[in-house]
Structure 1
Amino acid sequence: MFKVMIIDDEPIIRKGIKNILNWEKFDCEVCAEASDGEEGKILIEKYRPDILITDIRMPGTDGLKMISEVKALIPDCKIIVLTGYRDFDYVQEALKLGVFDFVLKPSKIEELTTIIHRAVEELKKLKNRAEEFNKLKKLFEQNIPILREKFLYDLMYEIYPNTEEILPRAELLGVKIESFFLLVVEIDTDENKKLSQYEKNLYLFGIVNTFMDVFSDSFSVIDVPLKDRGVAFILQGGNEKEKLHNLISDKCNYLQELLINCFGFTVTVAVSSEGRGIMQLPEKFRECIEALERKFYIGNGTVIFYNDMSGFLKFEDYSVLEEYQKLLLDGIKTGNEAIVMKRIEDIKKYINSLDHLNMEYLKNFYWGIITYINNIRLSVAMASNESKVESINIISLHNMISKSENINELNDLLKEVSLSITAKINNYNNKSIKLILRNALEYIHQHYSEQLTLNDVAEHVYVSPSYLSRMFKKELGKNFVDYLNGLRIEKAKELLMDPKYKTYEVAEIVGIPDAHYFSRLFKKYEGLSPTEYRDASMGE
C-alpha cells in the first residue's frame, strides 16, 4: 500500500479528501493528517509518505521551503498542491522544486481522482524499476567472482576493449592490485599422453586448491584460469621484501611436491619480476610466458624466475605497439580526427610506460607508420583524380626521424602527418556523401510525380536504403518521406494557381492519386486545404 498524507489548515478539506476518495481502489491508505507545515514536517519524517497532498499557503509556514525539504528527504514523493490562489509565479516556482501537480480549491472530485491515479501509476513504475534494479544488483553481486576472473583474464591477454575503463572496472569488481608478483603454474604434459577435458579441469581444480593452502598464509592470492596454460596467481603481501624471492621459491617447491604426491602430475612454475599496479599485469604475464618457454632448456617440474633469465637471449616485445599502429591506421582510413588523436596519445602513453626504450626500434616503428600513411595519401589522391599527386617528403621526414632525440619529437611528427591525411580523407568522404545526396535529390525532382520509394532512389545512387535514409536525416534534417511530400506540396501550390486544374488533377500530377489523402497532407503542411489555398491566392 502507498502511504498518503494530507496537510491543510481547513479541517473540512482534510476530512473531505480523506473520506470522499476510494483510497483502497488506488492501493493507498491515508497514514496521517496535519493542520500546518510545522506539524506536517514532524509527521513527514515519521511516516515518509509516498503521496503528499498539501496546501501551499498556510499561516506561519513557507510552503515552498517545506516542499524543498520534502523532496530532499523523500525524492520520489509525489507532491500534489491544493491552493485557492491563482498565483502562477508561485506555481512555477513550486513546479521547479518538483511538485507533481496542482489542484485549485474548490476542486472537482474527478480532477483529484485523475491526479491521484497518475501519481500511483508513476509510483508503481518506480517501484517496479527499483525491484528490477535490485534483482540485477543481486545477480551482479552473485557473479562478481566470474566477472572478476574474466576481467583479469582479458587484461592479461591484452584483449580488454578500452584501457580507460580498466581502473574503474577494477574498483567496481573489488580488484585492488598494488605491489605484486605474478605466478603461472603450467601442467607438464607427456607428448605421448593427451589429457581429456575432464582430466584438465580436475588437475586445474587440484592446482588452485593446493596453491591456496600453500600460499594464503603469507600472501593475498587471486587465481585466474588460463587458456592452455594452467592457472595464473597474483600474489600480494609478504612482510620482508628482501626475503620474498626465497619464500616464493620454497613455497613453489613445496607446491610441486604436494601435487606430484597427491595427484601424480608435475608442474612448472614461472615467476615474474615485481609489478606495481594493475596496469602492469599484461607485462608481467608476458614475462611468465617467456620464462615458461625456457622450460625447453631447464626442464619440467622446475621454478623459473624471470629475473634469473639474464643469461638467455632476450627480445623486446613490442606487440602492443603493433596493435596500436593498426588502430591508428584504421582511424586515419575513416577520416575521424578524434579517434586519430586518441590513438596517437595511446601510443605516446604506452611508450612512456615502458621501463626500457630501444630508440632505434622506436624510430623504425614511427618510420613504418609514416611510410604506410604515405601509401594511404597516394590512394586518396588517385581516388580524387588529382592531376598532381602530392606525396610526403620522404627523405626530409626520414632525416627528421633519424635526428629525433625523444619520444615527443617522434610523436609530434606522427601527429602532423596523421592529421594531414585524416583531413584529406574526411574531405573526400564528405564530398562523396554530398555527391550521393545531390544525385538522389536530382532523381527525386525528376520522378516525384511517380510512385517513388526510398528503395528506388537508393538503387539509383547505388547505396542501401538505410544508409540513404540516415544521410537525409543528417544532411537535410528530415527523412525521405518528409522531403518528397514537401516537394510535392510545393509543386501542387504552383499548379493550384492555374484554375484549369481541378484539385484531384493536381494531386495526380504531383504523384498522390488519392485526392482525400492529398487534401489532408496539404493542410498538414500549409494549414489550409487546397481549395482554401487557391481561393486565398486568387484573392490576393
Structure 2
Amino acid sequence: MFNLMIIDDEPIIRKGIRSVINWEELGCTVCAEAEDGQEGRELIERLKPDIIITDIKMPEVDGLTMIRDIKDVVPNCKVIILTGYRDFDYAYQAIKLGAFDFLLKPTKLEQLHDVVKRAVTELKTKASSDPETERLRKLYEKNLPLIREKFLYNMLTGVATGSQSVTEEAQQLGIDVGLFQVVMVENDNSRDAQDDGYNGNPLYQFGITSAFEEAFSGFYSVQPVSLNSRRTAFVLSPKAEAAKSSSGAAVCCIENCCSNLQNMVKSCFGFGVTVTVSSEGFGFGELSVKYRECCEAFKHSFYLGSQTIIFYDRIGSQIKQNDAALYECNNRLFELVKAGDVDGVSQCTAELLTCITSMGLTDKEYIRRFYFDTITVINTIRASALIADDSLPPQNAGEGNLYNMIERCDNVGDLNGLLESVARRAAAKIGDYDSGSMKLLLRKAVDYLNKHYSDPITLQQMADEIYVSPSYISRMFKKELGVNFVDYLNEIRISRAKDLLGDINYKTYEVADSVGISNPHYFSKLFRRYVGMTPSEYKELLSRTTFTQ
C-alpha cells in the first residue's frame, strides 16, 4: 500500500477527496491530512508519503513553497496539484518543481482517479525495477508480524513509552491501540522450565496463541506477544459491536472466551493454562501499566490455584493490602529453613498464620492449596540439600500423602501446625550438616561455577541453585576453601581468561565477555589485581615467551 496525504485549507475539500475515491482499490491509504503548507511540510518530513494531493493557495505556507522545501525529503513522491487558480504561471512553476500533474477545481472524480492511478503505476514500476528494493520490501513484509510483536513487547515491558515517536512508529507498523485490555496466559505444563523464553516446546505456545485467537476472534482484535516459554500476552481491542456493550457484558464475554480457551487447550494438548485479565486501558501509554496488573494477578494464583481465570479488578482490596506481607513472610520462611534456624521457623509460621487469618479468605481450597505448595517447596529444599532421614513423618513420602494430610485438617490452625512441623524438621536437619555434607554441597557449587562461570552469577543465584541460604554458602566457601564466593569465581574467570589470551585470534574485550565480565575496563583492573599485570602486558609476555622458544 502507498501512503497518500491530502493538503488543502478547505475541510470540505479534504473530506470529499478522502471519501469519494476507493483508495484501497488503488493500492493507497490516506495517512494524513493538513490544512496548510506549514503543517503539511512537518507531516511530510515525518511520514514520508508516496503521493501528495495539494492546493496551491493556502495560509501560512503556499503549496509551491512547500513542494520546493520537501523535494529533497521525498524525492520520489508524486505531487498532484489540485487548485482553483487557472493562472498558467502557477502550472509552469509546479511542473518546473517536479509536480506529477496539475488539475483544476472543480475536477471530475474520474480525472482525479486516473491521475492517482497513473502515479501508483509509476511508483510500482520504479519499485519493481529496483531488485534490491523489491527484495528488502518482501523481507520487511515477511517479518512485519515479528516486528509488530517486538514493538508491543517493548511497550508492555516498559522498554519503550507512549511518546510521539512511538506513536508514529505504531502508525507505520499498522498498530492501533485505543480501548484495550491485556490478557496473559501461562502454560501450566512448563512450570519447571527455565523462564528464559527459549526452553519448552514452542508448538505449545503456538497452539495456545491459535486457540486464543479462535476463542476471541468474534469479539476482539487480538495482538499476541510472546513473553517467554511459559507466558504469552494478548492485547485485546474490542470490535465495533463489543465496544458498544456495557462493561459488565464485556467482562462476561472475556470470561466466557477465557473459559473456552482453557477447555480447548485442555482438550487439544492435555494440560491447563492460568489466565489473568487487566482492567481497561486506553492508548499506548497504558500498555505497561496493564501488563504489570496481569503480572500482579499471577501472584494470587499461588493461593487461588493454577488453571484459574484471575481478573485484576476482582482481587479484593483486603487481599491487595495483605498479599505483600504474605509473600514476604513465606519467602522469609524458606530462607530460615535453608539457614537451619529452627526457632526462627516457629516464629515465622506464627506470623504467617496471623497474616492468613487477617486476609479473611473464606475458600478452604485456596488456603489448602497455599499450604500444600509451601510444604512442597520446603520438602524440595530439604531433598535438594541432600538430607537423608528415614525418620521423617509420612508427609515426605509424596504429594499424595501430603495432600491427604492437608485434606484432614479442619482449620487454618491445623494446617499451620502441619507446616511448622515440616519446616522445623527440615531446618533442624540442615542445621545439623556435618563437614562431609558441606563438602558434598561445596562440590556441587564448584561444579556449577566451573560450568557457568561465563554467566552473570550472583551469590543469591548460587544459593538458590543448591537450595541453601546465601549466608550459608558464603560461610561454606570461607571455611572449606579459605576464600569468599566472589574471589573463588573471579579466580576461575581469570584462569580461563589467561588460557584465552594465549590465542591471538581473541581481542581483550572478547576474552572479558567470554568469561562473564561484560565491562572490559573492570576486567582489566580485575586481571591486574589477580595476575599482577594488565591483559595486554600478559599477552605481550606470552608472545615474547613463544618467540624465544
TM-score category (smaller protein): 0.3 to 0.5
Q: Which has the larger radius of gyration?
A: 1
